[in-house]
Amino acid sequence: MRLNRAGVSKWPAVMRPLLAMPNLDAFAVTFGATERIRLEEELVGEAVKDAQRKADAMARGFGKRAGAVAGISSDQLKNLGSAVGLVPSDRYNRANSRQRQNPDDMLMVTSLKMAQTVDALFRIK
């Protein structure tokens, strides 16, 4: 079952009856933002400006300037093995897998943490 609910203030009132039902298991709860696309675009813009600023600072250290962008990615270019899938990534939190959860934990609303990184390659002038 999928339930979309606007406004988190009534979340406990929605979840409490569900948690009291027998034979219900494996709840998965996620929260989102109604303006997610706009927020992601703002984060990308800020990340791009930050990449340019850092590139300029590093180039100045060598008496040069950062030139035109030669490549840009929202994935990490630092670790090419991870970027192409050669290094295993353990993003799944095994600590929470199939353990009996405290029902009150399902009544809490989690905060959304949004971040965006940009890796860029600049020509050096």
Q: Does residue 19 form part of some domain? A: yes
Least confident of 23-32, 59-68, 108-117: 23-32
The closest alpha carbon to 56, from 109, 120, 5, belongs to 120
1 part of a folded domain:
no
Instruction: Judge whether 3 lies within some domain.
Output: no
pLDDT at position 45, please?
93
Domain count, the chain: 1
Q: 45 or 110: whose pLDDT is higher?
A: 45
Which structural domain, as residue segments, surrounds residue 104?
Answer: 8-124
State the pLDDT at residue 94. 46
**Continuous H helices in the chain:** 11-20, 36-61, 80-83
pLDDT tens, residue by residue, 50-107 = 999 999 999 999 999 999 998 888 877 666 556 556 555 554 444 444 455 666 666 6
